[in-house]
């Protein structure tokens, strides 16, 4: 099991975009992926909308 954190104190430098794409790549490689967007204004669901 791997845990990958994508963090920066700077805003708008592609943290969420990188997390979205990296998770997709890992899933395509048959890895089980759990992405957690802990930002108070989470934007990760814009890429992968939650259905419930
Ligand atoms: N490689 C790239 N080329 C062009 N635009 C990009 C690239 N990566 C991200 N962007 C764009 O830059 C903007 C900010 O990206 P993103 O939301 O991933 O940053 P963030 O670091 O998560 O921001 P925040 O600090 O607000 O959470 C978005 O509009 C995104 O589409
Ligand atoms: Mg973000």
Cα(32) to centroid(ligand 2), Å: 22
Task: Report residue 35 as tokens.
Answer: 């992405």
Cα(10) to centroid(ligand 1), Å: 11
Q: Which residues surround ligand 2, an ion (CB under 5 A)?
A: 15-16, 43
Q: Give the chain's domain count.
A: 1
Read off the pLDDT band of 51 (50, 70, 90): confident
Cα(42) to centroid(ligand 1), Å: 13
- Residue with CA closest to ligand 1 atom 15: 14
Do residues 8 and 15 make contact, with C-beta atoms less than 8 angstroms apart? Answer: yes
What is the predicted pLDDT for the residue at 44? 87
What is the predicted pLDDT for the residue at 17? 92
Tens of pLDDT, residues 15-49:
999 999 999 999 999 999 998 887 777 788 888 88
What is the predicted pLDDT for the residue at 27? 94
46: part of which helix (H) or strand (E)? helix 44-47
Rounded Cα–Cα distance for residues 6 and 44 (Å) = 13
Closest CA to 6 of 36, 29, 43: 36
The reported pTM is 0.88
Backbone torsions φ then ψ of 47, nearest 5 degrees: -80, -40
Q: Among all chains, which residue has been given the structure tokens 């890429």?
A: 47
Q: Which domain holds residue 40?
A: 1-52
What is the predicted pLDDT for the residue at 26? 95
């Amino acid at each position: 099991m791997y845990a990958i954190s994508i963090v920066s104190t700077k805003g708008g430098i592609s943290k969420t975009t990188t997390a979205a794409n990296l998770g997709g790549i890992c899933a395509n490689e048959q890895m089980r992926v759990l992405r957690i967007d802990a930002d108070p204004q989470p934007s990760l669901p814009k890429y992968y909308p939650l259905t419930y």
